[in-house]
Structure 1
Amino acid sequence: MMAICSPLRSYQVMLFIPLPFVVALLLLILFVTVLRRDEEAQPNRPFLVLILLAVLQSVLSGLRWGYGMQAVGVIAPVTAAMVPPLAYAGVSRLVRTSRQSLPARIALHAVPTAVILLLMVIWRDVIDIALVLVFVGYALAILLLMRPGADALRLAPFEGVVPAYRAIIFAAAALCLSASVDIFVFFDFTWAHGEHALTLISVSNLAVLVILGIAAAAASRSRAPTETAEAALKPETTEDKETIAMVDALMDARKLYRDANLNLDRLARKAGIPARQISTAINRAMDKNVSQYVNDYRIGEACRLLAVTQKSVTEVMFEVGFQTKSNFNREFRRVTDMTPVAWREKKAER
């Protein structure tokens, strides 16, 4: 009987694949998908590296908790310290061009990792506290960048601003979740001798890695929700009217909305008006963000083409500046309250 059971037990062990390895594989597939999607455009490298780091973190988690390889626990805090700076760096590339040189930015964001490495040598007991501070600090810094709303993403194409904005908020929430888990685990080891730590770490870490990976993928291809409350509360000014008139004239004359890669920064340069001035004027005077303003022009042109030409919906979509059907249909519904096909059919009946 023992002779039969032993091989069977060995066979079962051979088939055991920790869930973190499955997550790592899915994240790797996500990385390849994003890389191929962005191969014709300049990729957001910090977000790409963040996805790869999530893969590494997941593999380390599988080795540690699935196969009992405790030695990898030495690497985990170091790789964990790299996650928040990469998330922040990716967001920064959509928000603004930093005035610091690249070496200076790299040196600045390498500080958390260097601190963790130093603490591993001189004071290991406070590593968890240091990681909590790093994660919370960067989460707050990201939320601070996003304070103006989705119009903060001035370097992101208008078509993808909303998904990017939401993904960034989710990423910041994931950093806070990770910090909360670390705090809970600290108290669990203090008061309950780590009774719940293993389960919590396994589940929460995978959840955080998946959220960060998906958020990075979504944000790397960057529409926008509501404008800032601060702008909405202030009355429209004469400067706002003049700013909008200048931008309207530019949009009508040069059809800038047809540029699929148009973003707030590029619009500001072509108009010769500061990006913040354009955003604030549209927010206050029109009760919408710049992305919606530009997409209103796109949908208006799409309606004209659908009415007077025999072009397919897909041809019209590309001609007016959209790149994906999902975004085109969503914006078309927002403006007309119907789909492009339904709108064309209704127009043909008149």
Structure 2
Amino acid sequence: MISIPISFLLASVFLGLGVLTFSWRVFPTLTRCLFLALFCVMSLEAVLVGLRFAFANYTFLPLQRVLPVWIAPLVFLSFASLAVSQATLGKWLLVNGVISAGLSVALFLPVPFVGYIDAVIALSFTVYAVALIRLWSQGRDVFTQSPIELGALLSKLLLAAIAVMIATLIIDGLVAILFAQNRPDAAAIAISFASLFFLIASVALIAVGAKWKPGRSRSDDPYVADEAKSRALVDEARGLLKGRGFAKDPQLSLTRLARRLGVPERDLSQAVNRTLGMNVSQFVNSIRLEEAADRLKVSDEPVSSILEEVGFLTRSNFYREFQNQYGEAPGTFRKKAQSELSRSARSSS
């Protein structure tokens, strides 16, 4: 039978992982909260499994069966929170919460099918494993809400999470088969070995996490005293904003941009001010306005659509900033630019 130390020690280790990940302040607060919630739910599940197989206590069996359909989406949302904007994440939280609640209710439906509960849980894990694989396949640059230098680490952790979910599917399938064959002792032994496996893997993660420290931050370099390094940081920021389309996110902030670059907010702000003579907000808006100007030159797309697509929240702010940067309203700019293009085309022909 499953030993008491393994199940409850595993629960303690999961709690330790939750505290550890929550302490990684390099990640956004919501991401840290999601990882903490994930490991707390996993810890509770380990405790309930221990009660069931060590003490034959089935009091909490309904809760123990429900928790897995919340674990899988929490794994996905924890990693996805580092890859999407806050607005998108809010929608995903709502959608996945509704899905998990629906599956929780579905577990209690009187379906006359042996293995129905296991099938529902397996379906949840399979769907979210596929979602995680799709996220991982986009490469380390998908984690736009974390510092660039953490991309490789996060990609490896995501791959490990996928492997654990697949292993869980296999183990749960084996346990379900053993129960169907009326071999509860063999199922308990399988769960014991599975708990031991997860315990070893979790301890290894804690050891790695405890030793992990962010690499030497570029903030150690004196940007303010070194114009070349300040320009290099500004160029990197421009490449991120334009190449990755980061500037188009209307919720973009100095904090998020600095975190994505792996530098303190003060260093980024001073580098932009020293190099360009403007603040970070003006810098971001200038890149948005460049994109808007390019679209105005070659398309008849409504100005209202363009301003939203490049990252502005309000029409008034866009018109004011555009007037300041180009000296005229967007409509006037478009007419002049397209008129010049037409003249150039006729002259060249």
Shorter-chain TM-score tier: 0.5 to 0.7
CA–CA separation in structure 1 for the residues paired with 2:182 and 2:97: 35
The match for 1:76 is: 64
1:74 deviates by 1.4
Please give the alpha-carbon distance, in whole angstroms, between the structure 2 residues aligned to 1:116 and 1:40. Answer: 30
Aligned match of 1:120 in 108, 111, 131?
A: 108
**Counterpart code for 1:23:** L
Counterparts of residues 177-192 of structure 1 (less than 5 Å): 177-191=167-181
Following superposition, the deviation at residue 184 of structure 1 comes to 1.4
Residue of structure 2 equivalent to 1:236: none
1:255 Cα deviation after fit: 3.8
Which one of the candidate residues 231, 246, 250 is aligned to 1:254?
Answer: 231
Q: CA deviation at 1:37?
A: 4.1
Q: Is the 8 A contact 1:78 1:113 kept in 2?
A: no
Equivalent-residue separation in structure 1 for 2:90 and 2:181 (angstroms)? 45
Q: What's the counterpart of residue 197 of structure 1?
A: 187
| CA distance 1:146–1:98, change in 2 (3 Å) | farther
Q: 2:123 pairs with 112, 121, 133, which one?
A: 133
In 2, distance between residues paired with 1:147 and 1:39? 24
Q: 1:113 to 1:85 in 2, by over 3 A?
A: same
Classify 1:67/1:79 alpha carbon distance in 2 versus 1 (closer, same or farther; 3 Å). same
Structure 2 residue runs without a partner (length 5+): 215-226, 247-260, 263-349
Percent identity for Structure 1 against Structure 2: 21
RMSD: 3.7
- Matched AA of 2:144: R
Q: Which secondary structure state, in structure 2, belongs to the residue aligned with residue 154 of structure 1?
A: coil
Which structure's CA Rg is the greater one?
2
- The alpha-carbon distance between structure 1 residues 102 and 271, as it changes in their structure 2 partners (threshold 3 A), is closer
Superposition deviation, residue 206 in structure 1:
5.5
Distance 2:241 2:7 in 1: 50
Q: Does 1:59 align with 2:26?
A: no
Equivalence for 2:303: none
Structure 1, unpaired ranges of 5+: 1-15, 224-249, 258-265, 278-293, 296-350
Structure 2 counterpart of 1:110: 98
Aligned equivalents of 2:100 and 2:240: distance in 1? 40
Moved segments of 4+, more than 6 Å: 212-217
User: What is aligned with 1:274?
Assistant: 243
Work out the CA distance in 2 between the residues paired with 1:93 and 1:40.
10
Counterpart amino acid of residue 150 in structure 2: G
Change (3 A) 1:36 1:119: closer
Output one character per residue of 1:19-42: Cα deviation in whole Å (capped at 9) or x when no partner.
211121222233333334439963
**Which residue is 1:324 aligned to?**
none
Report if aligned partners of 1:116, 1:127 keep a CA contact under 8 Å in 2: no
| Aligned-partner residue type, residue 19 of structure 2 | V
Are residues 33 and 253 of structure 1, via their aligned partners in 2, closer, same or farther at CA, if it must alter by over 3 Å?
A: closer
Selected match of 2:79 from 66, 91, 95: 91
Matched letter for residue 70 of structure 1? Y
Conserved 8 A contact 2:22-2:35: no
| Amino acid aligned to 2:35 | F
Q: TM-score, normalised by structure 2?
A: 0.55
* Aligned residue number for residue 154 of structure 1: 144
1:28 to 11, 15, 29: 15
Shift of the 117–172 alpha-carbon distance from structure 1 to 2, 3 Å rule, reads same
> In 2, Cα distance between the equivalents of 1:141 and 1:120?
26
1:282-319 CA-to-partner distances (Å, cap 9, x unmatched) read xxxxxxxxxxxx99xxxxxxxxxxxxxxxxxxxxxxxx
Distance 1:18 1:176, change over 3 A: same
Please tell me whether the aligned partners of residues 23 and 58 of structure 1 are also in contact (alpha carbons under 8 angstroms): yes
- 1:214 CA displacement: 7.2
Displacement of 1:190: 2.9
- SS in structure 2 of the partner of residue 120 of structure 1: coil
State whether residues 27 and 146 of structure 2, in contact with CA within 8 Å, keep that contact through their aligned partners in structure 1. no
Which residue of 1 is the match for residue 317 of structure 2? Answer: none
Partner residue, 2:221? none
